[in-house]
Structure 1
């Protein structure tokens, strides 16, 4: 009896301990090493997974910590299983994109509930599972299953299917409306989302914070500041202004509408240490080229133990590629591995971009090759990274592998590979890629970016007249970059008449930029001794030239990053720098060349 009581007491403490670990894992995303130690200790004290509760907890914890293989192993070792065990196992399989096994397990389950259906619906065979649900159990009488179908079709961009399910349901609730509105935002039907919100309100349904957040997201996507302000005022009236979901959506709205001050005000007035709010503000700083602010806020969030998410790390890695020295970028990579986010596509894509920006293409390729699934964004990032780092043929080869993978290139893909052809002067290969664009699916239409690459390819091959004729045949208004490329080429061949024609066109497109005239045309006038034309040109430019943008640079010293602007009176240590400069000028004037020699 004593042994039984002792084992029961030990079991009680084990259950309590697992519950605490579960809460910690949910909030901190603990690494799997700690769980393996707990697992080993359970085996050591004789509490293996003959108990269903402990087995389910361990499967759940391994799954949340990013160790699906360990989760599957624990499931296989469990001597008894319930419906919760099978549903956890299904989640693991779907998360690993092993839909074939998930379908087989689903068919072999001794019993199924709404969670089972919802889990398997979230995989790749959505329409097939929908048909099975309607045929076997009927989904429209089950509110949970119907809502899951609406949400699933919305995430897949199939709004017509979402609407069909929504209209066929016997009863809907606020979750149904939220799923419908969110699906419209995800699929690019923001105006229909506004209409759905109006119908929802007219039908007497009470909105919640998720409804407001979804409508704010629609306003963000459309860059509709006025509607967004109205919605934010409505959320304040409803008492949602202190909600993290609403605040993060409002920050995103103001950020995308170039209202950085308003976004910062919402962030400061929220007084919340929430990951969603901090993610939104970090992304806001990063998108407005305020990488230093984004990085400082990220460091502050770490000090306050705010839970990291894949979106936090993605924004910070994006900033690191611009602002942070390579050593600190490597430390961020280590943090990604430690927190278990290296398998997340958005984080891996940001790592690829960061290493490409650093010029460490081999590191970027290593991460790219290890990704379990690659979306078009990471393909584009890698192709462009290879092109920017001089790996031109490798960039073209990767483009060909993309075509073989079954993904459809978009405008960014073609811009990247045409850039590679342009840098390398690969006219034949570049024209073949350009010619294939209109024939590709998904409506990829050439833009000025692509035309600029083609023109540069022709210019580097010495085909200036052909480039001009190419633009003439397009019946497309070239932008200033294309004209500048032609102007530079004409300067090399000293075609002054054509240069003046192009310069006049550039003046119409960008009247406040002195670059076309002063850099190209004025130099040509000086070479030919046409000083009167030089003076006339410079006077003309003085009337239209506005304030120049100050240059800025960064340098990392002993783990700290210092920024320097073109104005010498506004940077770190300006007093010391100015005093040293004065000292050097004095020594130079005295002609003492050995001042620093002992």
Structure 2
């Protein structure tokens, strides 16, 4: 309707309107329509290029995004900070490490023209963490801190690195990342939990017990994470871990035990009771064996 109205009034030939239409279609995933509007102009401006690049990047097409970027350069359009942010984000989600590093270095070489901002650094940290290049990610975070970026952005990047260290079981770097987060925000319960998980996946059950003791001493509690789905009847259902208040708890537990039997060896069997306190084992078993219960919201 909006596009039709623009055509009727003749506004569709204006560059600003074109850019908005390209952005609208790209945001909603209609990349064919977005490209069609884009192609109507002989010399689209940078805003139009950025809108189309953002559409391809946002919808999981990193290779196409980079091809479009090369096409943009051939037309003599120079990128800005928005362009590089879009490209780095696409590379991060697409796992294109080499391409992302080339773009990063290219942007930094444009000293005085384009200065990497906090969001650019965050994208690079995410890209490197996903690729398992954790030490390189730490270097980027330290570089960002030297650039005096905001506290919140530094916290976000250290948390990203800590989470990656848990996935990759990198105890030493993970502890450093956790210490940095807690130095900036000592009451962050989520970070205490992540560090505890890091100790757990690396078999350091004494560290798990120490972290949980520390949390109790600081009166910190893990915030319950909620997952949301839309049920068939149209209602919204919220799931929270280890909730035993549901009216169907007995039926749910019976079903879990049945499924566990069908799966055979479960994650619970991986817990080494010899190296872990009874309390920790019971807690881990509870989280694994008692599923999230549904509660209407």
Q: State if a TM-score over 0.5 links the two structures.
A: yes
1:384-533 counterparts in 2 under 5 A? Answer: 384-440=54-110, 443-472=113-142, 475-476=146-147, 479-510=154-185, 514-518=189-193, 520-527=194-201, 528=203, 529=205, 530-533=208-211
Number of aligned residues: 231
Deviation at 1:373, TM superposition (A): 4.1
Distance in 1 between residues matched to 2:74 and 2:178, nearest whole Å: 44
Gap change, CA 1:541 and 1:469, over 3 Å in 2: farther
Distance in 2 between residues matched to 1:361 and 1:539, nearest whole Å: 54
Which residue is 1:313 aligned to? Answer: none
Provide Cα deviations, 1:549-595, integer angstroms capped at 9, x if missing partner: x99999xxxxxxx9x898xxxxxxxxxxxxxxxxxx98x6998xxxx
Provide Cα deviations, 1:408-463, integer angstroms capped at 9, x if missing partner: 21111111111122222222222222222244386101122222223333333322
Which residue is 1:359 aligned to? Answer: 29
Contact in 1 for aligned 2:53/2:69 (Cα 8 Å): yes
Which residue is 2:12 aligned to? Answer: 342
Provide Cα deviations, 1:339-372, integer angstroms capped at 9, x if missing partner: 3322232332222222222222222222222235
**Secondary structure class of the residue paired with 1:342:** helix
**Secondary structure class of the residue paired with 1:479:** helix
Structure 1: unaligned runs, 5 residues or longer = 1-330, 555-561, 567-584, 592-598
Distance in 2 between residues matched to 1:347 and 1:552, nearest whole Å: 37
Contact in 1 for aligned 2:23/2:51 (Cα 8 Å): yes
1:103-122 counterparts in 2 under 5 A? Answer: none
Larger relative contact order (Cα-Cα within 8 Å, sequence gap ≥ 6): 2
Gap change, CA 1:540 and 1:399, over 3 Å in 2: farther
Which residue is 1:111 aligned to? Answer: none
Q: CA RMSD in A?
A: 3.8
1:292-303 counterparts in 2 under 5 A? Answer: none
**Secondary structure class of the residue paired with 2:39:** helix
Distance in 2 between residues matched to 1:332 and 1:484, nearest whole Å: 42
Distance in 2 between residues matched to 1:455 and 1:515, nearest whole Å: 19
Distance in 1 between residues matched to 2:218 and 2:227, nearest whole Å: 25
Deviation at 1:390, TM superposition (A): 0.9
Contact in 1 for aligned 2:141/2:157 (Cα 8 Å): no
Which residue is 1:333 aligned to? Answer: 3
Structure 1 length-normalised TM: 0.34
Distance in 2 between residues matched to 1:512 and 1:346, nearest whole Å: 47
| 1:377 is aligned to 2:47 | yes
Contact in 2 for aligned 1:512/1:544 (Cα 8 Å): no
1:76-475 counterparts in 2 under 5 A? Answer: 331-440=1-110, 443-472=113-142, 475=146
Q: Which structure has the larger Rg over C-alpha atoms?
A: 1
Gap change, CA 1:590 and 1:485, over 3 Å in 2: closer
**Secondary structure class of the residue paired with 1:542:** coil
Deviation at 1:510, TM superposition (A): 4.8
Gap change, CA 1:439 and 1:552, over 3 Å in 2: same
Structure 2: unaligned runs, 5 residues or longer = 239-245, 252-297
Deviation at 1:492, TM superposition (A): 1.4
Distance in 2 between residues matched to 1:339 and 1:565, nearest whole Å: 46
Deviation at 1:389, TM superposition (A): 0.6
